Structure 1
Amino acid sequence: MSSVGLLYVGAVLFINGLMLIGVVPGKSAAILNFFVGVMQVVFPTIILIQANNDLPTIFGAAGLYLFGFTYLYVGILQVTGVSGEGLGWFSLFVSACAVVIGALQFTLVGDPVFGVIWLTWAVLWFLFFLLLGLGRESLTYATGWFTIFVAHITGTIPAFFLLVGRYDTNAGLALLVTVAAVAALVAGLFLGRKGIPRGKRSEEGAAVSPA
């Protein structure tokens, strides 16, 4: 993924996370989703046209559509008010593809940092599947906070390293990103529980303690 595209992935994930925790209204978030979604569809299309059947180039461009279609889908849902089950099940597909791409980053590409980043995206999109595809509304706040953290861990920060030519990849850095991603998931789940109203917790069995 290009450094510029990655930077705006961080931006749109940040906005979508804020939308999920109720800070940014859906229709307001839709605008950036359309901007980034169009970018993540047009750019890989241009790359593919110019690829001349170069498999590494095609491989690098193919994954961008997964994000582009997601953001366009989010924008359309927020503007039209259509239910999100379709996006939820598409997110399961994205999650599975992200696992495969992450594994290939470790083995074929030799980039363990982006291997961890793609696996982190797989977890995030799986949460989108649980939230939208299966209707697990109790995960809304947790998913929102995790999205906010992941926006910067997998998008903004590595994008700036790429933009200034200081990006590096090795097992040690991959472990550092893994620790950050796991910490983000734990923090998201913790903050998510604090964001769920007490009555909602009891209804969904998320907490039965009177504490």
Structure 2
Amino acid sequence: MSAAGLFYVGAVLIINGLLLLGVISAKAAAPLNLFVGSLQVVVPTVLLVQAADTFAIADAAPLYLFGFTYLWVGVNAITGWEQHGLGWFSLFVSATALTTAVYTGLIRGDGPFAVIWLYWAVLWFLFFCVLGVERTHLARLTGWFAIITGVVTAAVPGALLVSGYWPTNTPVAIALACVGVLSLAWLWLSTARPAPEETTPAEPAHST
């Protein structure tokens, strides 16, 4: 993924997190999803055309998954189509991101971006839970984790890559992993539990 493209992915993840939190409407989020989705289709196409080896192809091909996701969000917002198809597609994206994380870490030797792909695998699995199988009690967790993921895995790395200051070493990978695990734990404890069902208090027994 290009550094500039990664930076704008951060923006769209933050916007979609705010959408899930109910801060903005679907139609308000649609333009940026369409813009970034189009970018994430054009960029991998250019990369594939210019690819000189299988590594370049393997790096570019998964990017379509995210471009299609953002375009789908934008189209659904404009048309009012229901979200189940997008939810189940997100499960496919999650599985692909998980395998890409393994490939990035073991084959390419890039620990930080292997962890970043794990973030994306978890986030898209949460999208599947909320949109595909309607686990609505996870919407706030997913919204906040989308915002955290947008900042930690896209906006900040994208800005650092553009400026030439992105470090690719084991401490960075460990720090990213710790932020992700701690964020999920905190969000689960604070937002993810279903609200308890209200119970009707028992009527006092009448004496005879």
User: What amino acid does structure 2 have at the position aligned with 1:13?
Assistant: L
Measure the CA separation in 2 of the matches of 1:51 and 1:169. Answer: 23
User: Residues of 2 paired with 1:78 and 1:24: CA distance?
Assistant: 12
Pairing 1:91–2:90 present: yes
Gaps of 5+ in 2: 200-208
SS of residue in 2 equivalent to 1:138: helix
Q: Deviations over 1:12-31 (max 9, x none)?
A: 00000001101111101011
Question: Deviations 1:77-105 (Å, cap 9, x if unpaired)?
Answer: 11111111101110000000001100011
Q: What is the aligned partner in structure 1 of residue 10 from structure 2? A: 10
The offset of 1:182, in angstroms, is 1.3
Residue in 2 that maps onto 1:112: 111
After superposition, where does 1:1-211 map in structure 2 within 5 Å?
Answer: 1-52=1-52, 54-193=53-192, 201-203=195-197
**Does the 8 Å CA contact 1:144/1:188 hold for their aligned counterparts?**
no
Using the alignment, how far apart are the partners of 1:202 and 1:188 within structure 2?
Answer: 18
For 2:168, what is the secondary structure of its paired residue?
Answer: coil
| CA distance, structure 2, for counterparts of residue 190 and residue 36 of structure 1 | 32
Q: Which aligned runs of 4 or more in structure 1 are off by greater than 4 angstroms?
A: none
Give the TM-score normalised by structure 1: 0.89
1:48, CA displacement in angstroms?
1.2
Partners of 1:3 and 1:190 lie apart in 2 by 34
Which amino acid in 2 is paired with 1:202? P
CA positional deviation for 1:149: 0.8
User: d(CA) in 2 for partners of 1:3 and 1:191?
Assistant: 33
Given that 1:146 and 1:187 are in contact with CA atoms closer than 8 Å, whether structure 2 keeps it comes out as no
Q: TM-score, normalised by structure 2?
A: 0.91
State how far apart, in whole Å, the 1-side matches of 2:58 and 2:153 are.
19
For the residues of structure 2 that align with 1:111 and 1:181, how far apart are their CA atoms? 17
Alpha-carbon distance in structure 1 between the residues aligned to 2:40 and 2:156: 19
3-state SS of paired residue (1:178): helix
SS at 2:195 equivalent: helix
More moved, 152-161 vs 43-52: 43-52
Identity fraction in percent:
49
Q: Does the CA contact (< 8 Å) of 1:150 and 1:184 recur in 2? A: no
1:180 deviates by 0.8
Gaps of 5+ in 1: none
